[in-house]
Structure 1
Amino acid sequence: MAQKITRAIVVLDQNSGTLRESAGEVVGFDLRPDLQGACGQCRAQGVDLVLAVPGLSETGLAGGWEAFAPGMAVVPLAGLSYLSGAGLATDRLSEDEPATALVSADRRLRGDARAAGLHPAPHPALLPMMAAGQAVKAARIAGPRGALERLAATTGLVPMQFQPVPGDAETWALFALLPEDALIAAVLAGLTVQPLACDPMSEDLVWARIDAPADAAEVQGALKGRDILYAEPGQVLVALGPEDSAEALHIHGGHGHSELLVPDPGLLRPASHETDFAESAAGFDLPEPILEPVIRNPLSERILKWIRPDCASVTAQYQVDLDRYTGLAPLDAAGPIVSRHSAHPDNKRAEAALLADLRAMGYCAIRHDFSHAGQTHSNIIADLPGTGHLRIRPEILERYRKILARPVIDRTRLPGRALADLAYGDADAAALEALPDEVLRRKLEEILVLRPWYPWWKLRCPSPGIGADLVVVGGHFDSTAGFAPGYSAPRDPAPGRDDNGSGLAAVLSLARYFAAFRGKLTHTIRFCFFNAEESGLVGSKAYASHLKSVNAPIRAVFCTDMMGYNSDGNRIFELHAGYTDPAIRDLSVPLATRVAAAAAA
């Protein structure tokens, strides 16, 4: 048995929630369902819960935050930075309580927590185990897919990776964090269980790829002094401590970079999203008078099918973007950049430049923040909102967006007759108006279909229509020179022209082209620029997990990576889903066929 925790500090990051930010000011936050569920279980066991929010102390606002985190005390923190040392002031947060857990996705912060005498954890879904005094283990469990899914559903384990065993399509492998009784349940179910000799609470598990002919000395150097937790053809699993870097695991010839395994309770859940708008009213009858249909011009619909980009004009601007983001031309007023690696200062310049470029095209570009290596990083996101099939009448939607896009609801700004413009009867309107502020906020957001997968609280950002799904177009914008001997990520050059300046410029080109179709497309195109890919796919995993946790309606995903160079000189490029699950991989065939047909037209 481990020590039972009596207090838990959850750092708001990619594993627990997202900030609502507008014009540089925090106006609220959204907690992930996994955190809310874990908190409910912990409160039942008498655990005090604290939400530590990096960046909140810089807003100059005070109070009202508990409405966004019911049952948790909210503690503002300064923003995280490599230059801020421990950053979290763990001595202040712990209040001399020896049985305090600190939850963070960032292993560097978890290392700081352990040094301060706290109990670190990488994900809030582990808190109920810690509250019960259960030691958390890491393990690889193999067996039939259905048996593994049943184990996950019945034991509360937290999955990290789920994939077929190479060369054995009938057997799947599940890497997970779980208590001892779940390990025993796996054994009793006839599954193959291999505990992994690591500390999963302060260390991260990482796959190092060595699936191509590699220099033996290089492999030995990369793995020297590290315990190999598990190995299979093409890759080995190792643990990285708080001060370790994934750069050391970059091996020439490896197919793909090192991959970080992150706890994700939603990994095995079927993807789903709302298809019935009436269900979103959460117990109230749908107020139909606030809706209106989206009317499309039939002529515009026909024209859209035949429009093709002018490749010459697209290519010219593509070259300009490629040169700016890879150090051959000035990126901004400070001149050319040296590197886009997430540990290099110029990475922040690349973030800012992407925001500026997208906003210059007319997009409402935003940051999706995540924590890694003691710093807050950002994925850069921009939407071309789809019209959908229905929309809430703009005058009503905008009135309530202005009311709800503030930390505290100002009831004096509600309509004269209680919630009259939502067209509810007097009884329902009175019931709504009588709700506490935090409950009223959630109910109004549900009624108005204000979802955390698009930034409705940014009033300058247009909202998508009801029924508009997401088509994600993205690529990573960070770079590395990890193959170079003695490479120092915070200092050394890493222009990354092919990997992945080429993909970055491609997504910018697509955003520039599609800007002309604003208000003409049924579904939303979301342009995504992911950070810290070279450190283990960190930013893209954080974002994908976020979208799934809030049931975002993903329709298709296109990712551009290393488009600028083909060593064979045959100008043949791949369009595929690089995933080990054949069912998922085969989903890319219709997309590839459609793109090939469009290119040939």
Structure 2
Amino acid sequence: MDPLTGTVVFSDVGGTLASVSVSAGGDRIERLAVYPDVPGILRGLQERGARLGVISDPGPLPAEEVDRALAEAGLRRFFEPDLVVYGRKDSPRLFERAAERAGAADRLLFVGEDADERAHALAAGMLVAPHPGLAEAVLDERAPVRYLRITVPASHAASQWRPALRDLPVLALHVAGPAGTTVYAVGTTSAAARLDDLGFRVDRLGAGDEPLTTTAYVLRDDRQTESGFLAPDGNSQGLFGTGAAAGRVLASTDDGLVVAVPAGESVETYHFDRTRHGHDLRLVPTVQALGRADEPPGTPAPEAGPATITPEERRVIEARTRPQDIRDHLARYTGAAPAGHGAGPIRSRHVQHPDNAAAIEALVGDLDRIGGGRFVIRRHCFPHEGRQLQNVEAELPGSGLDGVVLVTAHVDSTGALHPGYQPSLDPAPGADDDGSGVAGVLAAADALQALDAALGIPRRAVRFVLFNAEEHGLVGSLAYAGDQASLGDPVVAVFQMDMIGWDVLPERTFEVHAGVTGRPVAEERSLALARRIADLVPQISPELAAPQVYPRGGEPDPAEARSDHFSFQLHGHAACLVSEDLFAGPGSGAPPAEMNPHYHTPADASVNADYASGIVRAVTAAAWFTATR
């Protein structure tokens, strides 16, 4: 390979080189954990003569704090002091300032995971790469980067084909098909040609270099799916039939439309009409996409056998998960009451609305109050559409058993189905979606810390996590789960609550979703969690009907990849979604779906707290059982 003398490579930090979590107060980096492949990539660039720097937005953190964290993580030594540039990356200005610092360099490259930031770097005259793994390929090949659809011939589906992709400058984004042999990816044109020569079927999607300034999504057109084949009733013609948007669609698949959303636009622009819960999925690079589907993670499977709780455990759970507890928690996140901690009402939790940040602050305050100083609280940082967003995690440290049990929901909301909705201005209380889940996590946190204080028995760590940007395609949970997998966190189980508050028909039905196509080990482990909830419902929530557990009897799971549990299943973990009765089934004799008619509108302003509290009790009991048995 030719030397890279005269080349300067700048990288973003959070989400590109390392996972970053800051303190509850937001004033200190608590954890900057370097991704495993990053030191080798940086060392390789240096050995070839490239100079290395950083372009990063520390937000309210002082530059000295970022420098300290980089040094403690062993990264600061790679970067020349004059090439470390901090500031806002919302225009080309910071990139131009970095270029001035680089002096008379022949080539400048910016490596970053956010398409908006890459577009600003291009405008400043830099080359860009969407991932450190493509940095050398972009510099060496000087040829376009493409979206690729790579298909393994059916006759070779059982062969050892995955290492061939891992050995090339190819970033796997999404694996599709019943056998998991179709891979959507980003790669160089030379990598595509080498795959041709190896016998893969390779479709070049979109235009050359399109991945550099776009973000890929799967958009599910439930309206078209329900209307059926040859019935011209879908969303594509109206949104992508003419104008600039006509070039956004990369492919039409069984999963939905694969769409490249350009920098400066939001996926919110393409919110389909008559969509169901979990209608889009952001496609992000993940090593696990090319892992063996039957390979279990390095964490133990949930124990088999019926789940039971003691009368004392039931008493403590019931005392902390009452309907009034759900109402009180919910009111602070839907604008019905002040958020507390000195803040006013939260009118919307949409990622583009200023009250999203207020909701994050309120969650940190509520979890600190509930934990009474026993929770370790962090903000997990990630970029999205040119913004720096945060997930919130609060961990009750383990005491004698290995592994981590997660109880989760998503914090953001939207009113996108309301005509003329303006995300940055208009209310989106999102009481059911997913204020009900947020209230459920807070109540579960209160109950589980009380159980621990009262019983003091050995248990695994329990982590309460509220994900941001779920409505934009599971963005926050994909970032979080990917980071946990890269860092080897021993996730034993994930219980996701998403839309658990709508119930008007007499029978109190609800669903537990565990399906994940092409990953039989993860699915079986997830089903074990679903069965655990089913075991506990008669003991702790007898007013509820037995849960409708998916998948069953060969039917696909209609909620697969439609909520944050999927982000963990991608990495082989046991994870399930608990929801109200969103789908008809499973089986022909099951009750009909009971979809909230106010879904994704400002009218989603209330829930059935009696019903929601029953679901929360069952999930809390299942999480406690998993943590202690």
Q: TM-score range by the shorter chain?
A: 0.7 to 0.9
C-alpha distance in structure 2 between counterparts of 1:57 and 1:322, whole Å? 29
Normalising by structure 2, we get a TM-score of 0.72
C-alpha distance in structure 2 between counterparts of 1:57 and 1:312, whole Å? 36
Q: Of 275, 284, 288, which aligns to 1:262?
A: 284
CA contact (8 A) 2:172 2:286 kept: yes
Q: Partner amino acid for 2:195?
A: A
Cα 1:16–1:226 change in 2 (3 A) is farther
C-alpha distance in structure 1 between counterparts of 2:484 and 2:31, whole Å? 18
CA contact (8 A) 2:299 2:403 kept: no
Q: Partner amino acid for 1:587?
A: R
Map of 2:118 onto structure 1: 110
Map of 1:238 onto structure 2: 259
1:344 equivalent to 2:353? Answer yes
Q: Of 209, 213, 222, which aligns to 2:239?
A: 222
Unaligned runs of 5+ in 1: 276-300, 390-467
Map of 2:497 onto structure 1: 560
Unaligned runs of 5+ in 2: 301-308, 540-629
Cα 1:125–1:329 change in 2 (3 A) is same
Q: Partner amino acid for 2:123?
A: A
1:378 equivalent to 2:315? Answer no
Q: Of 35, 38, 49, which aligns to 1:35?
A: 38
Map of 1:528 onto structure 2: 465
Q: Partner amino acid for 2:246?
A: R
C-alpha distance in structure 2 between counterparts of 1:110 and 1:263, whole Å? 16
Map of 2:98 onto structure 1: 93
CA contact (8 A) 2:63 2:86 kept: no
Q: Of 267, 272, 281, which aligns to 1:251?
A: 272
CA contact (8 A) 1:139 1:194 kept: yes
Map of 1:415 onto structure 2: none
C-alpha distance in structure 2 between counterparts of 1:57 and 1:209, whole Å? 37
C-alpha distance in structure 1 between counterparts of 2:359 and 2:384, whole Å? 17
C-alpha distance in structure 2 between counterparts of 1:31 and 1:234, whole Å? 33
Cα 1:545–1:73 change in 2 (3 A) is farther
Alignment of 1:191-590 (within 5 A): 191-198=200-207, 199-212=210-223, 213=226, 216=233, 218-224=235-241, 225-227=245-247, 228-233=249-254, 235-255=256-276, 256-269=278-291, 272-273=297-298, 309-310=317-318, 313-332=321-340, 333-362=342-371, 363-388=375-400, 468-516=402-450, 517=452, 520-566=457-503, 570-581=507-518, 583=520, 584-590=522-528
Map of 2:58 onto structure 1: 55
Select between 30-39 and 216-225 the one with higher mean Cα deviation.
216-225
Cα 1:543–1:497 change in 2 (3 A) is same
Aligned positions, number: 491
Alignment of 1:16-165 (within 5 A): 16-19=17-20, 21-22=22-23, 24-26=27-29, 29-55=32-58, 58-59=61-62, 61=64, 65-66=70-71, 68-69=74-75, 70-73=77-80, 80=88, 85-86=90-91, 89-95=94-100, 97=105, 99-135=107-143, 136-143=145-152, 144=157, 146-163=159-176, 165=177
CA contact (8 A) 2:329 2:439 kept: yes
Structure 2 SS opposite 1:226: helix
Structure 1 residue 116: Cα displacement: 0.9
Alignment of 1:171-210 (within 5 A): 172-198=181-207, 199-210=210-221
Cα 1:58–1:475 change in 2 (3 A) is closer
Structure 1 residue 266: Cα displacement: 4.2
Structure 1 residue 302: Cα displacement: 7.9
Alpha-carbon displacement from aligned partner over 1:301-348 (angstroms, at most 9, x marks no partner): 988776662168532111111121111222133422111001100000
Alpha-carbon displacement from aligned partner over 1:166-211 (angstroms, at most 9, x marks no partner): xxx3452111122233323322333221111141111111111103
Structure 2 SS opposite 1:200: helix
C-alpha distance in structure 1 between counterparts of 2:321 and 2:42, whole Å? 53
Normalising by structure 1, we get a TM-score of 0.75
Cα 1:231–1:274 change in 2 (3 A) is closer
Q: Partner amino acid for 2:517?
A: T
C-alpha distance in structure 2 between counterparts of 1:78 and 1:48, whole Å? 17
C-alpha distance in structure 2 between counterparts of 1:596 and 1:141, whole Å? 40
Select between 7-16 and 580-589 the one with higher mean Cα deviation.
580-589
Structure 2 SS opposite 1:581: coil
C-alpha distance in structure 1 between counterparts of 2:531 and 2:87, whole Å? 45
Q: Partner amino acid for 2:10?
A: I
Alpha-carbon displacement from aligned partner over 1:221-245 (angstroms, at most 9, x marks no partner): 3324232210013510111111111
Alpha-carbon displacement from aligned partner over 1:33-82 (angstroms, at most 9, x marks no partner): 132232133223222221334228842637654453032336665565xx
Structure 1 SS opposite 2:55: strand
Structure 1 SS opposite 2:459: coil
Cα 1:193–1:25 change in 2 (3 A) is same
Structure 1 residue 216: Cα displacement: 4.2
What is the root-mean-square deviation in Å for CA atoms of aligned residues? 3.0
C-alpha distance in structure 1 between counterparts of 2:87 and 2:329, whole Å? 30
C-alpha distance in structure 2 between counterparts of 1:187 and 1:152, whole Å? 12
Structure 1 residue 101: Cα displacement: 1.4
Map of 1:394 onto structure 2: none
